[in-house]
Structure 1
Amino acid sequence: MIRPNAHVAMMDAYALADLSAPPGKRLVSLCQNESLRPPSPLAAEAAARAARDQHLYPDPDWTTLRAAIGALHRIDPAAIICGNGSLDLIGCLARAYLAPGDAALIPAHAYPFFRTATLATGARLDTAPEKDLTVDAAALLAAVTPATRIVFVANPGNPTGTRISTADLTQLRQTLPEDVLLVIDEAYGEFADTPQDHCFDLVDRGNAVILRTFSKAYGLAGARVGWGVFPASIAAEVRKVLNPNNVSAASQAAAAAALSDQGYMRETCALTTGIRDRFRADLQGTSLCLPQSFTNFALIRFPSASAAQAADSALRAEGIFLRAQGGADLPECLRATIGVADDMALAAEVLKDWCKREGLS
């Protein structure tokens, strides 16, 4: 029997969400960080129009979409690469810049796909401690070794929901060795954006990449569209390992149309954050800890890993699926995607009842 590469055989498969609700229970999926409402109607209409030409390959340069992204964010479209979700671009960066003997560095509770992308290349994965579930730039710098080629940081973080300032990221980039690539994944950036607080200009240094996605705030998770701002030299290398027809024509059209409806996207973010904050407030009378979140989810920290497992079982018995966080080295935590108000109220009620039974309220 043919054998896989040794480093692949040693990997665990990327953990997918379990969505098998018990018989007789309505599935309440709060485990995939999807949007609580569909995308802008303009996006759906654009995708439907583009679907008429599915006998043709999509534009491999994403011309219309890059122009729309560039105009909105005041970025040169030539610096933008689009991917089949931001995971596509993370994987390409790892393949282009990591090899056996190299190392990637991530915060202790980082997005688990950083691990998958790194180990798939045969490189080593190093971690640095966080401070109060927040990226610690000083700890990352202290963990850099001569083998470090990439530092991956999600900001805001997944699964923590916390964020560090653009000033901290700028200082991190300025202090890292010049030959270490800093990759900042801003998948939840629209939930945390302020007009003066962005870090796209870090790319001008030539050793930083900023990634974003249409899956979260724009509600296009099913379309699989991510994008990033790349220095020209890095873009040239990433293009070599990128599928040249990676984003379908319908997905490109939907994403470009979604960008034109900023009011709808901002309304989605405001609706999400309002429900998120009410959910966190509902659980304040318990012994559960919910760190401040700048995303479309909330992390729930239980007194122990066994308590988190027991609460997860209680929720699943009612058809409510959150996401366990052992893969991010947080076995005592569950992550709740923010869904519609009624579903979040139901989840909070089940958790409060469980806390009462366990003497945790």
Structure 2
Amino acid sequence: MTCPVPYVAAMAPYTLADLGGDLISMAQNESAFPPSPKALAAAQDALTQTQLYPDPDWVDLRQAIAETHQLDPDMILCGAGSMELTGCLIRAYAGDGRAVLGTEYGYAFVASAALQAQAVYRQVPESGLTVSIDAILDNVTPDVAVVLLCNPGNPTGTMVPSVEVLRLRADLPEHVLLVVDQAYAEFCDASNDPSGIFALAQRGDTVILRTFSKAYGLAGARVGWGCFPPAIAAQVRKLLNPNNIAAVSQMMAAAAMRDRAHMQEIVRRTEAIRNPFASRCRALGLDVPHSHTNFVLLRFGSVDQAAEVDQALRRAGLLMRGMAGYGLPDCLRATICDAAVMERALSILKEALS
């Protein structure tokens, strides 16, 4: 019998959210609103060229990102979602006795990526469901090669200000690669100027990752990007799949990036639903951290209560994301959907909690 290599055989597969069959999903952190009409028009144009391979250098997409964020296009790499970039970064810089350091409630895919690289993965405690920069610094041991910071955090939705991220980089050893995953940054860019974070890439030891899956409404297109120091980009590029982003996806993402007004309207409309929903959940007695994303974390009085509410929601045709896999079995994570779905969820929560 043909056998896999031992470390792969020992791995558990990465688990995505339970999509629940015919249930309305509030579990995937997808946008409640469709992408820019300009992105949809670009997709139609791209369909006439699908006999051709996509641009392996993402030239127009990189130019759109660079123009929008005032970056050097030569420092931008694009991936099939930011997951691909995360995995390649860890394979390039961890493993072989090198460790990856994350936080208690950091993005779960990082653990899988570390296993794929045969690297040690460690998590440091968070404080009040929020990243503690001091805890990260206190746990940097000589074998740590990569520190991965999700900011804003998933599944907590909480955020540390840019000044704290700058302090982290300043106090980390120079040989440690800092990766800042900003998948939800568009939801807080207006109040948390990202220019200082992007500037960290100029140091040569920091990478900033973003995605089109959330605020741009392109989760199905699978496009992520990052601002990379050139030396790091050269190494990661060796591990990226050639032609990794379909031509249709590239053209949609470039058009979406250039339509900033539409993205900002998605953010505004999402916040207009999210904030009242969170407030009303708090009024029901739930612990709900302030969210800087397109979801909210709901903390119940007990694990049993969270399970009972989960079942009540499922019976009503709704599916939130259980958080036991993140060490938060008393929590459910609710993606912000359209207003009617959120009202329906609130009604079920109120009935179940009463």
TM-score norm. by structure 1 comes to 0.95
Partner residue, 2:79? 83
Partner residue, 2:149? 153
Partner AA of 1:70 in structure 2: A
Equivalent pair of 1:100/1:124 in contact (CA under 8 Å): no
* Alpha-carbon distance in 1 for matches of 2:191, 2:77: 23
How many pairs are equivalent? Answer: 352
The alpha-carbon deviation at position 62 of structure 1 amounts to 0.4
Deviations 1:69-96 (A, max 9, x none): 0000000000000000000100110111
The alpha-carbon deviation at position 17 of structure 1 amounts to 1.9
With 142-151 and 9-18 compared, the bigger mean Cα shift is at: 9-18
Partner residue, 1:213? 211
Match status 1:49 vs 2:45: yes
Matches within 5 A, 1:1-361: 1-21=1-21, 27-194=23-190, 197-198=193-194, 199-356=197-354
With 258-267 and 332-341 compared, the bigger mean Cα shift is at: 258-267
Runs of 4+ in 1 over 6 A off after TM superposition: none
* Alpha-carbon distance in 2 for matches of 1:114, 1:311: 29
Partner AA of 1:65 in structure 2: L
The alpha-carbon deviation at position 165 of structure 1 amounts to 0.8
The alpha-carbon deviation at position 219 of structure 1 amounts to 0.2
Partner residue, 1:359? none
The alpha-carbon deviation at position 307 of structure 1 amounts to 1.9
Deviations 1:31-69 (A, max 9, x none): 000000110110011011111111111111100010110
The alpha-carbon deviation at position 279 of structure 1 amounts to 0.8
The alpha-carbon deviation at position 254 of structure 1 amounts to 0.3
Deviations 1:243-284 (A, max 9, x none): 120011111100111112111111100000110011112212
* Alpha-carbon distance in 2 for matches of 1:216, 1:5: 36
Deviations 1:225-258 (A, max 9, x none): 0000000110000011011200111111001111
The alpha-carbon deviation at position 287 of structure 1 amounts to 2.3
* Alpha-carbon distance in 1 for matches of 2:302, 2:82: 33
Equivalent pair of 2:161/2:192 in contact (CA under 8 Å): no
The alpha-carbon deviation at position 330 of structure 1 amounts to 1.3
* Alpha-carbon distance in 1 for matches of 2:20, 2:152: 29
* Alpha-carbon distance in 2 for matches of 1:3, 1:168: 47
Secondary structure of the structure 2 residue equivalent to 1:133: coil
Secondary structure of the structure 1 residue equivalent to 2:178: strand
The alpha-carbon deviation at position 132 of structure 1 amounts to 0.8
Quick one: percent identity of the two aligned structures? 50
Secondary structure of the structure 1 residue equivalent to 2:275: helix
Structure 2: which 5+ runs fail to align? none
* Alpha-carbon distance in 2 for matches of 1:11, 1:324: 22
With 186-195 and 263-272 compared, the bigger mean Cα shift is at: 186-195
* Alpha-carbon distance in 2 for matches of 1:305, 1:50: 48
* Alpha-carbon distance in 2 for matches of 1:107, 1:147: 17
The alpha-carbon deviation at position 10 of structure 1 amounts to 2.2
* Alpha-carbon distance in 1 for matches of 2:62, 2:317: 41
Equivalent pair of 2:23/2:314 in contact (CA under 8 Å): no
The alpha-carbon deviation at position 195 of structure 1 amounts to 6.9
Equivalent pair of 1:161/1:295 in contact (CA under 8 Å): yes
Partner AA of 1:16 in structure 2: L
* Alpha-carbon distance in 2 for matches of 1:4, 1:99: 19
Secondary structure of the structure 2 residue equivalent to 1:212: strand
* Alpha-carbon distance in 1 for matches of 2:134, 2:149: 13
Deviations 1:304-328 (A, max 9, x none): 2222122111111111100011222
